[in-house]
């Protein structure tokens, strides 16, 4: 299988690419964020290109390790006839970045273009609020060899875009997926709007094409639509080539040039890319790559980790933040940035575990209460009665009490039912109000039963 992607994501700007209309198209009533320019009314000419859009596209290109084309940058008209495009053409720039790379997948080019409106064929209506919003298009080489690799690449790409702050992420993503097998004709699937959709459409199309080849039927070069509700692809039209779009240079927009100063300005404000941060975390903090990937899955989480390790052992912090913190965030469907947990909270929490002020079991309960809680970890521990660890004599007394009170569980354990030991551990935890060390409890139970 050979697969290449063309990923369109909206750039983060306040105004559209060639006019001053706002870009909050989802919040505005239908057909209100519009003007003669983005509706291409007779006599209306585009404003100079939105500088913030170009700056954001440049940042994305640099974060994807692209070479920046410092020759003449200009916009072309890409002609096609569709109700969401009032001009009959879409303005798209020549490449800004070329020859990039992410996760071993080559990036052929990155360019800027304007978003069309939103056409609803079932109702025959068009909402032009979105028309003219700046997009970045990221085009890969056909280096992707499986649906899984495509999914992993898109996840990493969205992470880069989120780190950059320059684009609006998966929520505005639309991907055109190109696939061929055994050197055959290329099929394009249009406007897939999620990572899951790209993965499922590739799975279906791979099977469809293999079945055609097995029957001796040639795979047609065509454009297909992915029907997410049915998880199938259906034919739309024969695939266009570049000539079909009749590209011409847009005479209404002046050419531009990306200067060394413009590149340096972006480099000065550009955050470290997540794939580079993973490598640095492994080298600098001595943690494994999988932990580094989890800790850099969100920029705010990565920043918090780097603050925490100023006061807590890096490997110890990585283990608890990777496992327990992410478990709680996932359960509550929260990003770290929305959790209300600060790096100071994490330092206090981890230091309580390190100093054995609380047991591991108590730590699990405490962190579950930390999201969007005004109380500190220590205050939560005090409120739950989890502060303090009982000494060995107290644990031993609790072990003996649990054995005396539960003779059937003891007999079951001796008869080979090992799960009964877990029940007895629970009883010891009840007696000690969760302050006994689980490992020490298991050891003492075995010694006193066996």
Which range, of 18-27, 59-68, 184-193, 250-259, averages the lowest pLDDT?
184-193
Whether residue 438 is predicted with pLDDT greater than 90 in this model: the reply is: no
Task: Name the band, by pLDDT with cuts 50, 70 and 90, for residue 391.
Answer: low
pTM of the model: 0.81
Whether residue 409 is predicted with pLDDT greater than 90 in this model: the reply is: no
Which range, of 2-16, 145-159, 324-338, 421-435, averages the lowest pLDDT?
421-435
Cβ neighbour number for residue 289 with a 10 Å cutoff:
11
Distance set, CA 25 to CA 33, 34, 116, 127, 197 (Å): 7, 10, 12, 9, 23
pLDDT tens string 325-368: 999 999 999 999 999 999 999 999 999 999 888 888 889 999 99
Task: Give me the mean pLDDT over the 297-301 stretch.
Answer: 94
Task: Give me the mean pLDDT over the 246-255 stretch.
Answer: 94
Whether residue 174 is predicted with pLDDT greater than 70 in this model: the reply is: yes
User: Long-range CB contacts (< 8 A, 24+ apart) of 51-54?
Assistant: 52/11, 52/13, 52/14, 53/11, 53/13, 53/17, 53/112, 53/134, 54/96, 54/112, 54/256, 54/258
Which residue blocks in 165-313 are alpha helix, DSSP H? Answer: 195-214, 260-269, 274-285, 289-295, 299-308
Q: Which secondary-structure segment (H or E) carries 427?
A: helix 419-431
Cβ neighbour number for residue 53 with a 10 Å cutoff:
26
Report how far residue 32's alpha carbon sits from residue 210's, in angstroms, rounded to the nearest whole number.
Answer: 47
Report how far residue 11's alpha carbon sits from residue 227's, in angstroms, rounded to the nearest whole number.
Answer: 26
Task: Give me the mean pLDDT over the 142-163 stretch.
Answer: 96
Cβ neighbour number for residue 260 with a 10 Å cutoff:
9
Task: Give me the mean pLDDT over the 120-124 stretch.
Answer: 86
Helix or strand or coil: residue 362?
helix
Task: Name the band, by pLDDT with cuts 50, 70 and 90, for residue 390.
Answer: low
Instruction: Answer for the pair 443, 399: CB distance below 8 angstroms, yes or no.
Output: no
Of 122-126, 168-172, 223-227, 372-376, highest mean pLDDT: 372-376
Report how far residue 60's alpha carbon sits from residue 66's, in angstroms, rounded to the nearest whole number.
Answer: 9
Report how far residue 143's alpha carbon sits from residue 138's, in angstroms, rounded to the nearest whole number.
Answer: 14
Comparing 191 with 254, which gets the higher pLDDT? Answer: 254
Q: DSSP letter string over 86-120?
A: TTSEEEEEPPSEEEEEETTEEEEEEEEEE---EEE
Task: Give me the mean pLDDT over the 249-256 stretch.
Answer: 95
């Amino acid at each position: 299988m050979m697969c290449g992607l063309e990923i369109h994501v909206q750039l983060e700007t306040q105004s559209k690419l060639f006019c001053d209309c706002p870009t909050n198209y989802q919040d505005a009533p239908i057909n209100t964020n519009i003007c003669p320019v983005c509706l291409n009314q007779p006599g209306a000419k585009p404003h100079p290109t939105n500088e913030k859009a170009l700056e954001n596209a440049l940042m994305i290109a640099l974060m994807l390790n692209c070479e920046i084309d410092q020759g003449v940058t200009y916009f072309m008209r890409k002609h096609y006839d569709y109700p969401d495009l009032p001009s009959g053409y879409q303005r798209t720039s020549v490449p800004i970045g070329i020859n990039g790379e992410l996760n071993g997948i080559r990036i052929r080019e990155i360019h800027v273009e304007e978003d069309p409106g939103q056409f609803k064929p079932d109702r025959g209506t068009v909402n032009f609020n979105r028309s003219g919003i700046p997009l970045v298009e990221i085009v890969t080489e056909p280096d992707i060899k499986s649906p899984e690799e495509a999914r992993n690449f898109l996840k990493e790409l969205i992470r880069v875009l989120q780190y950059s702050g320059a684009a609006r992420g998966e929520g505005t993503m639309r991907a055109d997926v190109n696939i061929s097998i055994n050197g055959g004709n290329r099929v394009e699937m249009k406007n897939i709007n999620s990572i899951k959709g790209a993965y499922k459409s590739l799975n279906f199309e791979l099977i469809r094409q293999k079945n055609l080849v097995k029957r001796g039927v040639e795979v047609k070069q065509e454009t297909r639509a992915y029907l997410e509700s049915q998880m199938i692809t259906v034919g739309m039209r024969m695939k266009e080539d570049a000539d079909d779009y009749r590209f011409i240079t847009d005479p209404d927009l002046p050419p531009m040039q990306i200067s060394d100063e413009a590149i340096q300005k972006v480099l000065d404000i550009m955050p470290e890319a997540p794939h580079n941060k993973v490598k640095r975390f492994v080298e600098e903090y001595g943690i494994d790559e999988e932990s580094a990937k989890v800790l850099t899955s969100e920029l705010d989480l990565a920043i918090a980790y780097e603050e925490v390790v100023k006061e807590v052992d890096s490997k110890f912090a990585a283990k608890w933040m990777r496992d327990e913190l992410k478990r709680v965030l996932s359960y509550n469907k929260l990003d770290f940035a929305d959790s209300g947990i600060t790096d100071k909270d994490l330092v206090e929490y981890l230091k309580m575990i390190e100093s054995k002020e609380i047991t591991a079991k108590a730590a699990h309960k405490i962190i579950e209460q930390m999201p969007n809680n005004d109380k500190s970890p220590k205050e939560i521990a005090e409120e739950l009665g989890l502060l303090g660890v009982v000494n060995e004599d107290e644990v031993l007394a609790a072990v003996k009490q649990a054995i005396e009170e539960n003779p059937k569980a003891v007999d079951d354990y001796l008869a080979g039912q090992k799960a009964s030991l877990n029940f007895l551990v629970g009883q010891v935890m009840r007696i000690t109000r969760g302050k006994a060390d689980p490992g020490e409890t298991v050891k003492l139970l075995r010694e006193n039963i066996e």
